[in-house]
Structure formats: C-alpha cells, structure tokens
Structure 1
C-alpha cells in the first residue's frame, strides 16, 4: 500500500511573482518545490507584492498549480475572497498549519482560525524568519510586545513547533518564547555550487554596495551615518525596494549631508535572479542588518566573491571570520566608520585578495551544506495521535 498523503496548509505574506520579500520568497519556494511525494501543500499568499497597491495581473482570488502544490492569491480586504477561501480550506483536515512570519499579515488570522476550529489541523508550525531577533523586536517595540502577549495566549495548549533556520535563530526564539519546542532545520537554497569570480578588477576608489529592502530592520541608516566619518574617497551604491518611504526620506537627508569625497546612489530594484551578478561588480557588501534568521543575500554576496561587512546579528559570523568578510561587533556609526575606513584604505591588490578569500569561504560553506525539506522524514505519530516534527541539521557555517 502507498503511504498516506500528508496535508500541509502554508501561509506567506509575499510569494512569487513578488520580489520584495527578500530571502523569504526563495525559502518558501524551496520548501514547496522540494516537498516529498507524500506531502500535498496548499499555500495562501497575498495577491500583491510588498508596497504595491495593485494585485498581480490575473491572480487575485485564484488557485494556481505549482507542482503538487496549490497557491491561492488573496485580496486581504475582500470579504468575498476570505469566505470562498475558508469554504475550500474547511473541506479537509491538515496535518500541519505552517505560518511564515510572526508578525506577518496572514499569521494572526490563520492562527485564530485554527483556534476557533475554522481550520482543522493537528500541528501548528511557526517560522519567524528572523522576526524574533533582538534588533528586529526593537523596531516598533511596544506594538510588538502587545502582539506577542496575544500570540502566547492564542497558542497556549496548542501542539506548536517553532521552526528556526539555524541554531542562531533557535536561541532567539527560545528567548522570546521560553519552553518553545524548536525545530532547527535549514531550508533548500538555489545558489551556485561554487563561487563565481568577480566581474571586474578593483578600481582605485573602493566600490561598496547595499542590497536589501530599504526598511528600518535592514538598517541602511547606520551605514550612511558612518560615511559621515569617511576619511577618504568611497562609493556606495544602494539597491532595493523602498519598503518604508518615511525611513527612506531620513536616509536621503543623510545622503545629502555626506562629504564631497563620498558618493552614494540609489540604483533601484534588482531583477529576480540578478543579485549575484550585481555583487560581482563590487569590492564589498555593506549590511548593518538588525537581524537575519538565515541571510540569503549574504550567501548571494559570497557566491559572487564579494566580501561582506556585516553586523553580528546574523548566523554568518564564523564564515565571515574565516575569510568571508568582517563582522562589526558594535552598532554605532563610529564603529562602522572605523571598519569602512580600514577597508577603503586597502590597495586594489589587497581588495582583490579579499574578494578571492570571500569566494573560498563560500565554497567551504557550500561544500558542507546538505539541503533538505522541512517536512521530509518529519512525520511520526505519537500515542496521542499528534504529529511531531523532527529536528533538521545544519547551520550556515556547518556547525551546531
């Protein structure tokens, strides 16, 4: 007899063809596409990209096939679509309700629906995607504290697992939710098997890049404040969608006040799949992020042999210390300025060596990594009849 088909219901605020979700979109796509044959997935996502006022053409309110998965594109303000969606979802019982994001728009609604038994599921699986990092929680902290109280009450008594991409993130989850049962399992990534060589040789002036969403969590402002103390010529190109216009206005004011020997340009958004090509043209990726559960963009930079100058709020510290770049242990602009000035003082030949070392660090990390699926081999019935999710393996540096 064939094994029974396991039913998984997933939620994710942004999914393909959206491009502004950072590493969330490829992480969820990898989970869906690599699901084992005995897993059937229904994924609910919003019908528009982050910051867009119009839906994707022809997708709103529709179910779309993706391999063995079905994806529903929901207009969040359409009661008709909500009623039609739940009419379909109530027709079956799910082994797992997997929500992506603690503060994501769909998470609260679907967890409430599960609590009220509008959705029947045996297990709740929550993937915070870095939202439990201290730096991330510090943004709009009061509002988040109130929501976390609500969430703890909502999950009390439910069979819940928390998914962490790395042991680094697992520690953050445990600090916010004491006693939480955390599954540590890295997700499949669509990255080159080996690092690509740089697209061009280092120039006389150091060329750095920031590539991420322009939002408080990604912390572009700290890099711009640091550039006020630049002691020599330095160039920074900024790529990424403006997720928070008010934050970008503050960043623009900082750019206007920079000294004449520092050049900063906003180059717009990077097309899907083009990040590695962009990184290959620069001497370093400057990323003062307030917290990453994995940091897909860091992997893309290293895959382009582009060193990463990064905060300590990511799981990549060991890889960067091994040659992938520099970890800035303090969050002050002065601390960042010291690191950027030291890097800008390197000769073109020394920067070429740093790029080669970044590629070697990527190759070592990639060779140690074994991708898998969050649901593969994770089903084992307990006497209570509940489904338990087993732990995964691996962290970015290949260490526990």
Structure 2
C-alpha cells in the first residue's frame, strides 16, 4: 500500500537558517513524518534576507540530498511565480498540503487561493507559527490586516484545518477565525540530545548567550538594561543573530557602548544551526526576554544542551523554576531579570551543575513524550 503524500510549503528551508525557528520546525517535521508519509518540500533556493542562492544546492528540480525519503524542490527565487509553484504542486499531487506561517503571498495565500477556486485537491493543514499572537500582529499591522480580511472572505474556517502548537495559539486562531477546526500538536523539537556536559563556574562571574534575530520582539534592549543594573558581579553576553531592524540594533549598540565596566557584550552575527550547540556549551545561561514565542527553538536548544534559561513568560516554556531549569519572568518586572542574573552569577560550581542538569533533564523528558508523534498523525488522518 502506497503512502499518502504530504507537501510542505515554506519560504525558507535548510540549508537556510536566517529565518529562525520556522525552518527548524519544518526540518523536524519532515524527519518525524517520513516513515509514515511520502514527504515533499517546496521552498525557495535563497535564505531569508539574502539575494544569492544557497551554495551547493541544485535548484529547479526535485532532489533527495537531505534524506533518501525526503524530496525537496528549491524554486529559483529570481523566477518564482504562481505558475511555477502550481506546476510543482500538480507534479506531486499531494493528499495534504502543509502551510507554514500566515502572511506569505506565494507559500500560503496562493495555495489557499487555489483551494478556494477548486484547483487544489489536497487537504490543507495550516500552522500559523505564532503569526496570530498580538505581539506578532502589532508589527506592520497595516500590512497584515488586509491578509486577515482576505482569509475571512475566502471562508478559511470551512476549507482548512489549523494546526496550533499550544492552547494559546488555538485561542488566537479562534479569536480571528471563529468556527475554525483546530487541532493541537506540540512543536516538534530537535530530538537528538548529546550526553550532559558541564562548564567551569566561578562565583561572581556569568557568561550569558542571546540567540535570536535582532528585532524588537526578541527584546535585546530589555536584556541589556537588566544587565546594566547588575551589581557586584561580572556579566558577559554573547549575541548571535542577524540584524533585521537596523534602527533597533543602533539603539542596542548605543546601550552597549554605555554599559558599566562589569558588563561586556560580544556580537558574533548570525550562525548556522549546527554551530549553536558548541556555542551554547561555552556559556552558563541562555537569555531571551522575548515579547512572544510560538515555541522558541533556541530556548529548547539551550535546555537540550544542559544550560538553564532566563526568559519571559511569553513562551510555552513555563514553571521552569519548579524543574530547576531556569526562570520565566513577566516583562512587567524588569528588576526580576536583574535579580536572576545576579543570582546566576553568584552560583558556585555545585549550584551551576545542579541547574545545568535540571535543564538537561527537562529537555530529555520533553523529547521522550510518546504523545508527540501521535499528535501529528492525527493532523493528517
């Protein structure tokens, strides 16, 4: 009996990494589903914010270079068109089309339009990936509102299944599209965990790492302000991620230049996903006071590496203190972030080892959850 076909449509895919978490979500998805379905990925041949195609990738044809059971088509971005996408959709003849994010004209709106016109037979499963959270909609709202109105006009609730990655996202979907059919399946994380590895820790010093796109929603400026107010400890911060908002980065740079002598910042720019585990291993604490995350792959990667985290309460990673794996604090309490930084800086070796192992064990429990895979099979039943 032949497997049913899933066609994943997404603007960016590996070897891209500058679009952040959604790429990793799709990579984890295709590897998790390849044994149960024939998996195809339709994407572009150029990373987010770049003009030159990926090196070493053959575009314009289906290839299984990623895995023998995963077919990927890298559409040349320079000649991307509705017609070229329709040709590849027709070539696959998918039973299911899995759409990612919400405001992509070619990889979300166009296939929805095809469904609306009766020109796409496969069932559509759409994962907004946090795009309907207020923190995300508040950015360029003028641009996104017409899309939402178009989706309602097309009668999306009657035509597709929404994939929410948590209860909060399900509520956001129903708020904007009442009557929609929504199923929850937790975000599929990186399932490969290395053995626990420690790191030397001296009381009074703390090496922190921030991994995210440089945009206001990731809240780097908030973190710098919290670090600025630390007393009687030395805090080092490594910042990793592409600068997407130059004005915001200039504001952060001014703050960095004015930091007191006990706080230092080193910006390394963007890094590939395969470079992150080694960088995480060199730091004591992962920091991300984000205003909203659908999942937070960088957060999970830190836990997976056995590094406690200091994050906001605007992610699915809550009640971290109860598991001894970090803090999830309200953004309305900036002093709380400063206190947490000072507490982590004062850790001696046994204290750090306890928190680090707590983080590692928290991630280990998550990836061993037997319900994760079953949740995805229900999406495509």
Partner of 1:34, secondary structure, is helix
Which residue of structure 1 lines up, in the alignment, with residue 131 of structure 2? 131
- 1:347 shift after superposition: 4.5
Matches of 1:333 and 1:228 in 2, distance apart? 11
- 1:370 shift after superposition: 4.5
Query: Which segment is superposed worse, 348-357 or 309-318?
Result: 348-357
Matches of 1:146 and 1:186 in 2, distance apart? 29
Which residue of structure 1 lines up, in the alignment, with residue 142 of structure 2? 142
| Contact 1:194-1:363 within 8 A present in 2 as well | no
Which residue of structure 1 lines up, in the alignment, with residue 304 of structure 2? 303
* 1:114/1:235 CA distance change after superposition, 3 Å: same
Deviations for 1:187-221, whole angstroms, at most 9, x for unmatched residues? 54333456622243346411111012222332212
Deviations for 1:67-97, whole angstroms, at most 9, x for unmatched residues? 3443221234525x54334234235643222
Which residue of structure 1 lines up, in the alignment, with residue 108 of structure 2? 107
| Contact 1:324-1:361 within 8 A present in 2 as well | yes
- 1:147 shift after superposition: 2.4
Structure 2 unpaired stretches of 5+: none
- 1:372 shift after superposition: 1.5
1:13 aligned residue (11, 36, 59) = 11
Partner of 2:373, secondary structure, is coil
Which residue of structure 1 lines up, in the alignment, with residue 165 of structure 2? 165
TM-score (norm 2): 0.87
Query: Which segment is superposed worse, 178-187 or 14-23?
Result: 178-187
Query: Which segment is superposed worse, 183-192 or 340-349?
Result: 340-349
1:27 equivalent in alignment to 2:25: yes
Matches of 1:299 and 1:196 in 2, distance apart? 15
Which residue of structure 2 lines up, in the alignment, with residue 94 of structure 1? 94
Which residue of structure 2 lines up, in the alignment, with residue 258 of structure 1? 259
1:321 equivalent in alignment to 2:322: yes
* 1:236/1:331 CA distance change after superposition, 3 Å: farther
Query: Which segment is superposed worse, 55-64 or 345-354?
Result: 345-354
- Between Structure 1 and Structure 2, how many residues are aligned? 376
- 1:126 shift after superposition: 0.8
Matches of 1:62 and 1:358 in 2, distance apart? 42
Partner of 1:274, secondary structure, is helix
Matches of 2:276 and 2:213 in 1, distance apart? 13
Matches of 2:141 and 2:375 in 1, distance apart? 30
1:61 equivalent in alignment to 2:39: no
Deviations for 1:86-132, whole angstroms, at most 9, x for unmatched residues? 234235643222111112352122222332344x1242211111222
Deviations for 1:48-78, whole angstroms, at most 9, x for unmatched residues? 1111111113433332224344322123452
- 1:334 shift after superposition: 4.0
1:40 aligned residue (34, 38, 41) = 38
| Contact 1:202-1:349 within 8 A present in 2 as well | no
Matches of 1:199 and 1:192 in 2, distance apart? 20
Matches of 1:145 and 1:265 in 2, distance apart? 38
Q: Higher RCO, 1 or 2 (CA under 8 Å, sep at least 6)?
A: 1
Matches of 1:150 and 1:8 in 2, distance apart? 25
Which residue of structure 2 lines up, in the alignment, with residue 176 of structure 1? 176
| Contact 1:194-1:366 within 8 A present in 2 as well | no
Matches of 1:41 and 1:374 in 2, distance apart? 17
- 1:331 shift after superposition: 4.2
* 1:367/1:156 CA distance change after superposition, 3 Å: closer
Matches of 1:94 and 1:356 in 2, distance apart? 44
Structure 1 unpaired stretches of 5+: 380-388, 390-400
TM-score (norm 1): 0.83
| Contact 2:205-2:346 within 8 A present in 1 as well | no
Deviations for 1:224-263, whole angstroms, at most 9, x for unmatched residues? 2222322232111111222333332222122122222211
Query: Which segment is superposed worse, 202-211 or 82-91?
Result: 82-91
| Contact 2:19-2:48 within 8 A present in 1 as well | yes
* 1:42/1:304 CA distance change after superposition, 3 Å: closer
